[in-house]
Structure 1
C-alpha cells in the first residue's frame, strides 16, 4: 500500500514539474470556477505550458501568458485572483459569464493589466478604489453587473485609462466630477444606473480626447453645460432618457467630429441653435420627446443626415426642401408637432428612405411621387394631417411597404389597383378620407395583410371575394362607405379574423354560411345595412365573440337560442324584423334596448310585444305575480340579512351590501349568489394577495372569484399613485374590452372583504399547465397560439389604451387559458396607467414583478414603461420554447435568459428547444425564440414594441403548418450583438 502511494506521489510531482509556473496558477484558477460546459477541459497538467489551452494567449518567445479570454463560456464562481500572479498578463476577458463575487482590493495585484473585461456577469458590492492603482490599465469594462454604491473619487487617478464602462449597474451617488481628471479617457459610458439626481459635471469638458460620452438614463437634471462644446474629438453624445431642462447650448455645434447626437426623452425647451453647418459629419440627430419649439434650421436639413428624429415636440413651420437632397436619409420621424405646408417634392428621390412618420401635424398638399424612388420605403405614416389629392401611381410599385397609414386626411380619388396588392404590407389604413371607386381584386396579392381599415370613405361596388384569401387578416373595418351586394362567402375562411366591421353600408343578402370558421372573431358589426334572412345558429359557436351588432337591418325569424352560449359585452339586434321568444339569458330588462324595433318579437319584457288575453285577467295575474316576487324577495333578503348578521357576530365581518357591488358588464347572475361559494372546498388557487374560488352559479355559468382579505395592500406607493391592488385591478380591468384580456364581471368592496369576479378559465394558467404534469398537452401550434394571443393583449394595453397601461407583472402564471387554449392576460393588481407615456418612464418606489421576469433596468432604476413588460413577455416566449421555468436550480445563479444564451452559444439550438415539441416545427420555433431574445435585450431601447412583437410572431407563424426541417441549428445573434456592441457597453 505504501509503495503504491509513493508511486502516486512521484507521478504527481513529475507531472506538476512538467507544467510551467503560469500553468500551475491557471490550474488553481480552474479549481476555483464551476465549468458546467467543460470549456476548460483542455487545461490539463500534461502540457509543458498553457499556451495551447482554450482562451490562453502567450508570448511566443517567453511562453509566458499575456492574455486570458474566457468570454461566453458559462463559468461560475468568484473572481479568480490567481490570475494576478501571472506577471506578464495584460488582458483578462470574462465577459458574459456568472462571476458572482465582489471585487476586492486584491485586484491591485494585477499590476501589468491593460484590459479588464468583466461585463455581463453577477458581480456585486462596491467598486474597489484599488482599481485606480493599476497604472497600466487602459480598458475597464464592468458594465451589466450589480455593483452598487458610488463611483470612488479615486477613479479620477487613473493614469492611462482610455475606456471605462460602468453602464447597467446599481450605482448611486452622482456622476463624479473627478472623472474629468482622466486626461487620457476616450470612452465614458455610465448609462442606465440609478444615480441620484445630479447635473452633468462641467469638468467633463476637460476630457479633450473623449470620443464617446454615453450618459443615457443617469437621472441627470439641470441644463447641458456649454463647456461640452470643447470636446472637439467627440463622435457620439448621448444624454437621452434624463430630466435635462433648459435650451440646447449653441456650443454643441462646435463638435465638428460628432456623428451622433441623442438628447431624446428629456424636458429641453427653446429653439434649435444655429451653427449646424459646422457639423459636417453628423449622421444621426435625435431630440424627440422634449418641449422644443421654433422651426427647423435649413442648415440642419442640408447635412448628410441618415436619421432625423424630432417627434413629440412643438416644432412648427414648413419642412425645408433641402432635406430631400440628403443622399443618406433613411429615417425621418416628425410626428406630434405643429408642422405645416407640403412635404418636399423630391423627398425620397436622392436617398433610400425607409421610415417616414409625419403624423399628427398640419401638413397639406399631395404625397410626393418620389417617396419610394429607391424601392426601400417600409413605413408610410401620414395620419391626422390635411394631405389631399390622390395616391401616386408610383406607390403601387413600392413592394417594400409594410405599414401604410393615411387615416384622417383629405385624400380623394380612386386608389391605384397595384396599391391594394402590395405583397409585404401588413397594416393598410385608409379610413377617414374621401377615397372612391372599388376595392381592387388585386388585394389578393397582399398576402401578408393583417389589418385592413378603409372605413369612412366613399368606396362603392361589391366587396371582392379575394379578401377572403388573406389568411393572415385579423381586422377588417369597412364601415361608413357605399358598398353594395352581399357579404363575400369567402370571408368565412379567415380563421384569424378578430374584427369584422361593415356597418353603415348598403350591403344586402344574408350572413354567409360557415361562420363557425371565425374561431377568433371578437367583434362583428353589420349594423345599418340591408341584410336579410335569419341569424344563423352557428353564431353561438363563436366563443370569443364580445361584440355583436346586427341592428338596423331586415333580419327575420327567431333569435337563435345559441346566443346563450356567448358572453357578450354588447348585443344589439334592434330595428329588424325578428319574431318569437328571446333566449333565456337575454330575457331581462337590462337588454331591452338590444331588441327594440322588432314588432314581432315576444318575451317577458314589458311593452316589448303585444299582450294577449283579457286585460283585467292580465292585470290580476301581474299583481299576483308581483306579490309572489315581493314575498320571495323579502324571504331572500331576510335570509341574507340573517346570514350576514350571524357572520358579523362570529367573525366581525362587515355586511356586503348591494351598494358595495359594482358591475362592469351585463351579468346574468345575482352578485349575492357569489358569497355561497367562498368556501375552502371551492378554492382553485391562492397567493400572496388572497385566494381564488370557483363558483358554478344557478344559471349554469362558471366564474372565478378572487378574495382579497385584510386591509388593502399597497402595491405601488409611487409619487403619482396611492392605489392598492384592488383599486388598481378595478380601475384597469373595468375599462378594458379586449378578447385577450381577462374579463372582470363585477367587484365588491366591503372593507375587510374585497371580491373580484372574473370569467372562469377552465385550463388555468399557462405557468401551471406548461410546468405541471399536463405540459405535454401543449404542442407547438397551441403554444404559438398562446404566445400570439398574449402578445395581442399586451399590444392593446400599450398602444390602444388611452392613456397606455403597463402591466408590470407579466408572467406565465398571469396568462390564463380558456377551454380552447385561447390566452387572456390577467392579474392587474400592480398595473400602472402611464400618464404622459410619451415623456418616457415613470419612477416607482418599489419593485413590482416576479423573480426571473423583471427587466434589468427595472430592478435598479424603478423606472416603469412598456419596455419592462416587453422584457417579461420575452421570458414567457422563452418558457414556451424551452419548457423551462424562468428560474431553476439547474441554472445555478443564472436565470432562463442567460441560460438560453449560454446554451445557444455552446451547444446550439437543439439543446434549448423543449424535447417534447415536434421537430417538424423547428424553423418556426427558432423564429419565435429569436423574438424572445430580442424582447429580453439588456438595453430597453433595443427591445421591439409590442405592436412589432405581434407582427414578428405573425410572420413566424406561417400558418402553423409544419414545414420540412431546413434549419441548420443557428439562430440570430441579436442578443450577443447587444451584449458585445463595442460602441455601447463592451
Structure 2
C-alpha cells in the first residue's frame, strides 16, 4: 500500500514536469533577450535565472493559457534606456501578443527573419529608437493591429506588403527618413483608423486619392511630407475622420468644398502650404469642429459668415484628449469652434459680425491679412477668449467695449490697423494679459491709474497713437513689465519715480512726446538695453547712474533741455546708438567720446567743449595748468601707493609660498600633470594668479590671463574649492581620492587633440585648488562677442564658420574620442574664438567620459545646462547625454541666427527656442534673423536655422547626431533653396 502511494506521487510529479519546463523555457528566452541588450540602469535586475517564473519580472505580463497555465503574453520595456539590436528571442514566446520597446536605444536594422515566430503579435511599438535600414514587410505578423515605428531612421520606401495587412488599425511611421513617394496601395488597408506619416523626406508627390477608400480612418497626419498638387476632393467622404493634418507641405489649388462633409472632424490643419482661392462654403455643417488652422497660405476673398455659425458641440472630449488641454465649461456649454487661425493670407472684406455669437472662441488669429471694417462686439462673448491677434490689417472704428470685461485674455495684438477712439477702461487692467500691443493706430485717451490691475503685463506697446496725459505712478506696481514703448504720442508730465523701481525693464522708448521734469536715479534698471527719451522737454542733469547700466546699448536723450556736464561714467557703456544732441549741456566731453564717429552725438549743445586737450572755452590757462598740476600730483600719489602695496603683497606671497605653501605643495603633489613639452614653469604660473589678471568667471572657477616671460599667453582656470575642503597639512583619504579622480579625468581630457577643441596644456594642484592651463584665445567667448560691443565684427560668413567649427569640435567629442565624451555645458560662453575668429569648444569643468564598453549609463546625472538651454527632458529624467549636448548646440545656432541670448529678458517668459518657434509660425523665419546681418545670405541663414530647429526638437530621438549636424551645416555652404522647416511648440509638431 505504501509503495502504491509512492507510485501515485511519482505519476503526479511526472505530469507537472512539462508545465515547469514550459515556464522555465519562457524565462530562458527572456534571459537570452536580456543578454543581447545593454541595461545601463539595471532596470531588468529582477530577471533572474533562479526564479521559477518570469511572470513577476519587470515589464512582463502573463495570462492564463491552455489548461490554465500562466504564459507570457505581453512585454513592455519602454523608456528603460536599453541598447542593442531587436531581441529576436522574444519571438520564441508562443503566446506573445504585445511588445513595446519604445523610448530606448534599440539599434541596427529590423529584419523579417527577426520577427519569425511572432505570429501572435497584435501590438508592436518600436518608436523613438535608432533603427536603421529599410522597413521590413512584417509578412509574418498577420494579426497585427497596432504598428508604431515613429522616430527611427528607416529609409527607402514603404513596402508593398503593407497593403496586405488584414486587420491593421494604427500605422505610425512619423519622423523617419523615408524618401520615396507615399504609395497609393495604403488605400487597400481597409481596417486602418490612424495613418501617421508626418515629417519624412518623401519625394515630391500628391496625396493618394485612394486614401478616401479608408472609411474607418479617424486620423490622417501627413504634415511635412513633401506633398504637392491639390487636396483630393474625395477625402470629404471620410465620415469618421476627426483629425486632418496636411500642414507644412507645398499643396496648391483651393480648399475643396467637399471637406464640409467631414461630419466628425475635430481639427483641420492646412497651414504653411500654397493653397489659394476663397474659403469653402458649408463649414457650418462641421458640427464637431474645434480647431481650424489655414494660416500661411495664399487664401483670398472674404471670411464666410457661416464659419461662426457652427452648432453646439457634440464630442468636445476629442479635443481635450488630442491636445491635453482643459476647456472652460462655458465653451463646452455654449458653443463649438474654439480656435481659428488664418493669419498671413490675403483675406479681405469684414470680419463676420456673428463672430463669437454661436461659438465662443479661445484663440483667434486673423493677423497679416487685408481685412477691413470693425472688430465685432461679440468677439469675447462667453468670456473665454485668450488670444486676440488682428495686427497688420485695415481694421477701423473703436475697440469693442466688451473687451474691457474679457478677463480671460492673455494676448491682445492689434497693431498696424486704422483703429481709433478711446480705449475701453477695463482693457488697461485685465489681470491675465501679458502683451498689450496697440501700436500704429489712432487710439486716444489716458493711461489710467487702475493699470495696476494688469499684474501679468510685461509688454506695453502703445507707440504712434494719440495717447495723452500723465504716465500714472501706479505703473510702478507692474513688477513683470520689461518693455514700455509709447513713442510718438501726446504724453505729458514727469516720469513717475516708481518707474525707476521696475527691475525687469528691458526697453523704454518714450521719444516724441511732451514729457517734462527731471530724470531720477535708475540704478534698478540693471537689465535695460534701450532708453530713448528723445524729443521731449526733460530738464536738469543727466543722472550719473545711467553709466552703471552695463547692458545698455541704446541711449538717446536728444531734443530735450538737459543741462550740466555729461557724466563721465557714460563713456564706459557699450553704446551702439548714443545721442545727446540738441540740449543745453556744457563742459568737457568725456575723453572716450572724442572721436569723429561720436561727434554728431553732441551737436546742438553750444556749451560743450570738443577739445582733446581739455582746453575748454571760459577756462584760463593758469587755472587749467593748476588743475593739470593737481591731477599730476594725484596720479603720482596713487602710483606710489600702488607700487608699495604690490611690493608688500609680493613679499608676503613669496614668504607664504616659501614656508607653509611649499611644505603643503611638496606633501600633496604640487608637481604638475603635464601633457605636452612645456616652455614654462609652475612658479611662473602661480606668480601670475592675481585678481587684476582675471578675464572670466563661471560656475566652475575663475580664468586668469597669464603672460609668460617669452611673451606668450596662457589661460589658467582655477577651479572653485569645495565648501568643505580640508586641504592643508593633513589631507583626508576622501580628498586624496577626489584629487586622484581629478587627475585621472583631466588625463583623459588631455588626450583630446583637435583643431576645434581648446588645448589643455597641463594641470596643477596648489593649496587645495586645481589649476588647468589652456591655450589662450584672444577674442574671448562667442557669447561675449555676439552679445557685446564687438557683435558688429561677426557678419554672417563669420557666424557660419563659427557654427561649423564648433560642430566639428563636438562631433569629435561624441564620435571620434575613445571613450566618447559628453561636454554637458555647451553654450556660447564656452565656445572660444582665436585671433582669426576660429571657434574652439572649451570648458570641460563638468564634462564626463562616457564608458560605452562598461556597465555605466550612457546618460549622466547632474548638471543640465544653463538657463535658456536646459533640455525639455531634464525635468523628468534629471540626466544628460549626447542628445543634451546637441540640444544646447541648437540653442547656440539660434543665438548666431537671431543675435539674442539663450535666456534674453526681451523674450519674456519664453526661452529662445520657444520664442523662435512661435515667431516663425506667425511671421516666418526671416522675422527672427538678426537685423544686423546682410540678408543677401538669407537662404544660407535659413538653412542653418533649420539645423538649429532640428537640434532643439522636443523629443531627444528626433535630434540628429553631431556627425549629421556637421554634415548638414557643411551642406549649407551652397546657398540654394532652403528646406521645409519643421519644429515643435508646446508638445505639438509644426
Q: TM-score, normalised by structure 1?
A: 0.63
Task: State whether residues 889 and 951 of structure 2, in contact with CA within 8 Å, keep that contact through their aligned partners in structure 1.
Answer: no
Task: State whether residues 765 and 812 of structure 1, in contact with CA within 8 Å, keep that contact through their aligned partners in structure 2.
Answer: no
> In structure 1, what is the Cα distance between the partners aligned to 2:790 and 2:399?
52
> In structure 1, what is the Cα distance between the partners aligned to 2:100 and 2:94?
16
Using a 3 Å threshold, how does the CA distance of structure 1 residues 69 and 863 change in structure 2: closer, same or farther?
farther
Residues 774-789 of structure 1 aligned to structure 2 (within 5 Å): 783-784=866-867
Q: Does 1:453 align with 2:466?
A: no
Q: Does 1:25 align with 2:29?
A: yes
Task: State whether residues 324 and 347 of structure 1, in contact with CA within 8 Å, keep that contact through their aligned partners in structure 2.
Answer: no
Using a 3 Å threshold, how does the CA distance of structure 1 residues 501 and 768 change in structure 2: closer, same or farther?
farther
- Equivalent residue in structure 2 for 1:268, among 252, 269, 275: 275
> In structure 2, what is the Cα distance between the partners aligned to 1:142 and 1:242?
22
Identify the residue that residue 43 of structure 2 maps to in structure 1. 39
Q: Does 1:526 align with 2:610?
A: no
Identify the residue that residue 418 of structure 1 maps to in structure 2. 426
Task: State whether residues 18 and 48 of structure 1, in contact with CA within 8 Å, keep that contact through their aligned partners in structure 2.
Answer: no
Larger Rg: 2
State the SS of the aligned residue for 1:20: helix
- Residues 694-741 of structure 1, C-alpha deviations (whole Å, 9 max, x = no match): 269xxxx99879999xx99987999xxxxx99xxxxxxxxxxxxxxx9
State the SS of the aligned residue for 1:370: helix
Identify the residue that residue 242 of structure 2 maps to in structure 1. 235
Q: Does 1:943 align with 2:950?
A: no
Identify the residue that residue 644 of structure 1 maps to in structure 2. none
> In structure 2, what is the Cα distance between the partners aligned to 1:865 and 1:337?
24
Displacement of 1:425 in angstroms is: 1.3
> In structure 1, what is the Cα distance between the partners aligned to 2:425 and 2:863?
38
Identify the residue that residue 354 of structure 1 maps to in structure 2. 362
Displacement of 1:328 in angstroms is: 1.3
Q: Does 1:603 align with 2:684?
A: no
Displacement of 1:471 in angstroms is: 1.6
Task: State whether residues 50 and 56 of structure 1, in contact with CA within 8 Å, keep that contact through their aligned partners in structure 2.
Answer: yes
Using a 3 Å threshold, how does the CA distance of structure 1 residues 822 and 91 change in structure 2: closer, same or farther?
closer
Identify the residue that residue 410 of structure 2 maps to in structure 1. 402
- Equivalent residue in structure 2 for 1:52, among 38, 49, 56: 56
> In structure 2, what is the Cα distance between the partners aligned to 1:716 and 1:194?
28
- Equivalent residue in structure 1 for 2:301, among 291, 294, 303: 294
Task: State whether residues 324 and 348 of structure 1, in contact with CA within 8 Å, keep that contact through their aligned partners in structure 2.
Answer: no
- Equivalent residue in structure 1 for 2:713, among 675, 681, 688: 681
Could you say what the CA RMSD is over the residues aligned between the two structures, in angstroms? 5.2
- Residues 140-181 of structure 1, C-alpha deviations (whole Å, 9 max, x = no match): 111111112222223223233222211111112221233233
> In structure 2, what is the Cα distance between the partners aligned to 1:839 and 1:583?
43
> In structure 2, what is the Cα distance between the partners aligned to 1:707 and 1:576?
32
Q: Does 1:116 align with 2:124?
A: yes
Structure 2 residue runs without a partner (length 5+): 1-16, 316-330, 622-710, 718-753, 759-774, 809-826, 850-861, 872-886, 907-911, 927-941, 966-980
Q: Does 1:563 align with 2:570?
A: yes
Displacement of 1:496 in angstroms is: 1.5
State the SS of the aligned residue for 2:96: coil
Task: State whether residues 230 and 255 of structure 1, in contact with CA within 8 Å, keep that contact through their aligned partners in structure 2.
Answer: yes
Report which stretch shifted further, 589-598 or 193-202: 193-202
Residues 475-486 of structure 1 aligned to structure 2 (within 5 Å): 475-486=483-494
Identify the residue that residue 922 of structure 1 maps to in structure 2. none
State the SS of the aligned residue for 2:452: helix
Identify the residue that residue 589 of structure 2 maps to in structure 1. 582
State the SS of the aligned residue for 2:78: coil
> In structure 2, what is the Cα distance between the partners aligned to 1:807 and 1:611?
59
Report which stretch shifted further, 471-480 or 458-467: 458-467
Using a 3 Å threshold, how does the CA distance of structure 1 residues 244 and 552 change in structure 2: closer, same or farther?
same
Displacement of 1:388 in angstroms is: 4.1
Displacement of 1:568 in angstroms is: 0.7
- Equivalent residue in structure 2 for 1:592, among 591, 599, 618: 599
> In structure 2, what is the Cα distance between the partners aligned to 1:786 and 1:89?
42
Task: State whether residues 423 and 443 of structure 2, in contact with CA within 8 Å, keep that contact through their aligned partners in structure 1.
Answer: yes
Identify the residue that residue 312 of structure 1 maps to in structure 2. none
Task: State whether residues 327 and 351 of structure 1, in contact with CA within 8 Å, keep that contact through their aligned partners in structure 2.
Answer: yes
Identify the residue that residue 136 of structure 2 maps to in structure 1. 128
- Residues 369-418 of structure 1, C-alpha deviations (whole Å, 9 max, x = no match): 43333222211223233444444443333222211223233444443443
> In structure 2, what is the Cα distance between the partners aligned to 1:886 and 1:119?
16
Task: State whether residues 293 and 341 of structure 2, in contact with CA within 8 Å, keep that contact through their aligned partners in structure 1.
Answer: no
Displacement of 1:611 in angstroms is: 10
Task: State whether residues 18 and 46 of structure 1, in contact with CA within 8 Å, keep that contact through their aligned partners in structure 2.
Answer: no
> In structure 2, what is the Cα distance between the partners aligned to 1:433 and 1:275?
35
Identify the residue that residue 182 of structure 1 maps to in structure 2. 189
State the SS of the aligned residue for 1:455: coil
Using a 3 Å threshold, how does the CA distance of structure 1 residues 296 and 172 change in structure 2: closer, same or farther?
same
Displacement of 1:212 in angstroms is: 2.5
Q: Does 1:872 align with 2:956?
A: no
Task: State whether residues 19 and 48 of structure 1, in contact with CA within 8 Å, keep that contact through their aligned partners in structure 2.
Answer: yes
- Residues 436-494 of structure 1, C-alpha deviations (whole Å, 9 max, x = no match): 33211111222211111222233333211111222211111222222222211111111
> In structure 1, what is the Cα distance between the partners aligned to 2:439 and 2:614?
40
Displacement of 1:549 in angstroms is: 0.8
Displacement of 1:262 in angstroms is: 2.5
> In structure 1, what is the Cα distance between the partners aligned to 2:507 and 2:923?
32
Task: State whether residues 272 and 297 of structure 1, in contact with CA within 8 Å, keep that contact through their aligned partners in structure 2.
Answer: yes
Task: State whether residues 815 and 824 of structure 1, in contact with CA within 8 Å, keep that contact through their aligned partners in structure 2.
Answer: no
Displacement of 1:522 in angstroms is: 0.7
State the SS of the aligned residue for 2:404: helix
Q: Does 1:810 align with 2:891?
A: yes
State the SS of the aligned residue for 1:517: coil
Q: Does 1:427 align with 2:435?
A: yes
Displacement of 1:574 in angstroms is: 0.8
State the SS of the aligned residue for 1:217: coil
> In structure 2, what is the Cα distance between the partners aligned to 1:124 and 1:212?
26
Identify the residue that residue 71 of structure 1 maps to in structure 2. 78
> In structure 1, what is the Cα distance between the partners aligned to 2:173 and 2:952?
24
Task: State whether residues 484 and 508 of structure 2, in contact with CA within 8 Å, keep that contact through their aligned partners in structure 1.
Answer: yes
> In structure 1, what is the Cα distance between the partners aligned to 2:553 and 2:487?
18
- Equivalent residue in structure 1 for 2:561, among 554, 569, 592: 554
Displacement of 1:886 in angstroms is: 12
> In structure 2, what is the Cα distance between the partners aligned to 1:300 and 1:218?
28
Identify the residue that residue 343 of structure 2 maps to in structure 1. 335
Using a 3 Å threshold, how does the CA distance of structure 1 residues 530 and 765 change in structure 2: closer, same or farther?
farther
Identify the residue that residue 694 of structure 1 maps to in structure 2. 778
> In structure 1, what is the Cα distance between the partners aligned to 2:453 and 2:791?
48
> In structure 2, what is the Cα distance between the partners aligned to 1:254 and 1:705?
56
Using a 3 Å threshold, how does the CA distance of structure 1 residues 704 and 411 change in structure 2: closer, same or farther?
closer
Identify the residue that residue 162 of structure 1 maps to in structure 2. 169
Task: State whether residues 18 and 47 of structure 1, in contact with CA within 8 Å, keep that contact through their aligned partners in structure 2.
Answer: no
> In structure 2, what is the Cα distance between the partners aligned to 1:839 and 1:503?
27
Displacement of 1:542 in angstroms is: 1.0
Identify the residue that residue 493 of structure 1 maps to in structure 2. 501
Displacement of 1:258 in angstroms is: 3.8
> In structure 1, what is the Cα distance between the partners aligned to 2:524 and 2:120?
71
Identify the residue that residue 623 of structure 1 maps to in structure 2. none
Q: Does 1:246 align with 2:253?
A: yes
Using a 3 Å threshold, how does the CA distance of structure 1 residues 823 and 361 change in structure 2: closer, same or farther?
closer
Task: State whether residues 543 and 566 of structure 1, in contact with CA within 8 Å, keep that contact through their aligned partners in structure 2.
Answer: yes
> In structure 1, what is the Cα distance between the partners aligned to 2:557 and 2:919?
36
Task: State whether residues 482 and 506 of structure 2, in contact with CA within 8 Å, keep that contact through their aligned partners in structure 1.
Answer: yes
> In structure 2, what is the Cα distance between the partners aligned to 1:41 and 1:483?
71
Task: State whether residues 303 and 351 of structure 2, in contact with CA within 8 Å, keep that contact through their aligned partners in structure 1.
Answer: no
State the SS of the aligned residue for 2:378: coil
Report which stretch shifted further, 452-461 or 542-551: 452-461
Using a 3 Å threshold, how does the CA distance of structure 1 residues 76 and 16 change in structure 2: closer, same or farther?
farther
> In structure 1, what is the Cα distance between the partners aligned to 2:381 and 2:792?
58
> In structure 2, what is the Cα distance between the partners aligned to 1:484 and 1:713?
44
Task: State whether residues 768 and 813 of structure 1, in contact with CA within 8 Å, keep that contact through their aligned partners in structure 2.
Answer: no
